[in-house]
C-alpha cells in the first residue's frame, strides 16, 4: 500500500477513535487528556496524533495469528483502540477472539474496536489462507508505567524509593486505590446518554 495513503488511513483512525473514546468514556478520556497534557510538558516529547489522547501507538504488520494474551504493562483500566486491515476473508478467519466471554467476532478490513487489553484475554483466529492473505493491526495504548512515573512526580519507583522513602511510602499507599479510582472512571450507558444530551427516562424504560 502506498505510504501516504497508509499514513492518512492511520491519522483518520486515530482521530475517529479519539472522538468515540470521548463519547463512550468521557471521564476516562479526561484522565487520558490530563495525562498526555502533563507528559507534553516534559522536554523532548510530542504527541503521535494531535487529536489523540493515547501516548503510544503500535503497528503490527502481517501478524497473522496472535495467541491469547493480556497486556499487563498497559494501564489496567485503560482502553486500547485497534484497527484491523489487510486483504483477508473475514468470514473465514482473522476473527477477534475474546476468551473470557467465549466470543468470536468477525472483523473485516478497516474495522475499529476497543478492548481493555490489560484485563481481557484477547487473540485472533488464524487466516483461512495464510500464504495469500495478510492481516495487520494498528493499536494505540497508554503504558501503566507512564502514569506511575507521573504519579511519582516524574520519577521511577526505584528512584523514588532510594531517594525519598517517605514520599515513596505515601505514593504507594495512595496507589493502592488505583483500581477503584480507575474503574470508577468507566461510564454507564445512562451516563453516556446524559452526556450526549439524551437522558434515559427511567419511568418510560420498559
Ligand X SMILES: *[C@@H]1O[C@H](CO)[C@@H](O)[C@H](O)[C@H]1NC(C)=O
Q: Interface with ligand X by CB under 6 A: which residues? A: 30, 33, 37
Q: How far is the CB of 33 from ligand X (least distance, A)?
A: 4
Question: For residues 18 and 84, which CB has a smaller minimum distance to ligand X in the complex?
Answer: 18
Q: State the helix-helix crossing angle for 26-40 and 3-24, rounded to 10 degrees.
A: 120
Residue 105 backbone phi and psi in degrees, to 5: -125, 130
**Alpha helices for 101-185 (secondary structure H):** 144-151, 157-163, 165-175, 178-183
**Phi-psi domain of 141 (left: phi exceeds 0; alpha: psi -120 through 50; beta: other):** beta
- In the bound state with ligand X, the residue whose beta carbon lies nearer, of 35 and 80, is 35
Q: How far is the CB of 29 from ligand X (least distance, A)?
A: 8
Least Å distance, CB 34 to ligand X, is 7
Taking the least distance from each CB to ligand X, the nearer of 53 and 171 is: 53
Q: Quick one: 12 or 37, whose CB is closer to ligand X?
A: 37
Least Å distance between CB 35 and ligand X? 10
Amino acid at each position: 500500500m502506498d505510504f501516504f495513503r497508509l499514513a492518512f488511513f492511520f491519522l483518520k483512525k486515530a482521530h475517529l477513535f479519539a472522538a468515540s473514546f470521548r463519547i463512550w468514556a468521557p471521564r476516562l478520556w479526561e484522565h487520558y487528556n490530563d495525562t498526555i497534557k502533563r507528559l507534553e510538558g516534559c522536554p523532548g516529547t510530542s504527541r503521535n496524533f494531535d487529536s489523540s489522547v493515547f501516548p503510544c501507538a503500535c503497528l503490527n504488520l502481517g501478524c497473522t495469528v496472535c495467541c491469547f494474551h493480556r497486556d499487563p504493562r498497559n494501564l489496567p483500566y485503560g482502553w486500547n483502540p485497534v484497527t484491523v486491515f489487510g486483504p483477508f476473508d473475514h468470514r473465514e478467519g482473522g476473527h477477534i477472539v475474546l476468551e473470557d466471554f467465549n466470543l468470536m467476532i468477525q472483523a473485516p478490513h478497516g474495522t475499529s474496536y476497543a478492548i481493555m487489553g490489560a484485563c481481557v484475554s484477547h487473540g485472533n483466529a488464524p487466516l483461512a489462507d495464510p500464504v495469500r492473505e495478510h492481516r495487520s493491526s494498528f493499536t494505540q495504548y497508554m503504558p501503566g508505567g507512564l502514569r506511575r512515573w507521573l504519579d511519582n512526580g516524574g520519577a521511577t519507583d526505584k528512584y523514588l524509593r532510594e531517594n525519598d522513602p517517605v514520599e515513596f511510602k505515601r505514593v504507594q499507599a495512595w496507589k493502592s486505590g488505583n483500581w477503584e479510582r480507575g474503574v470508577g472512571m468507566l461510564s454507564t450507558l445512562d451516563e453516556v446518554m446524559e452526556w450526549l444530551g439524551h437522558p434515559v427516562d427511567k419511568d418510560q424504560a420498559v
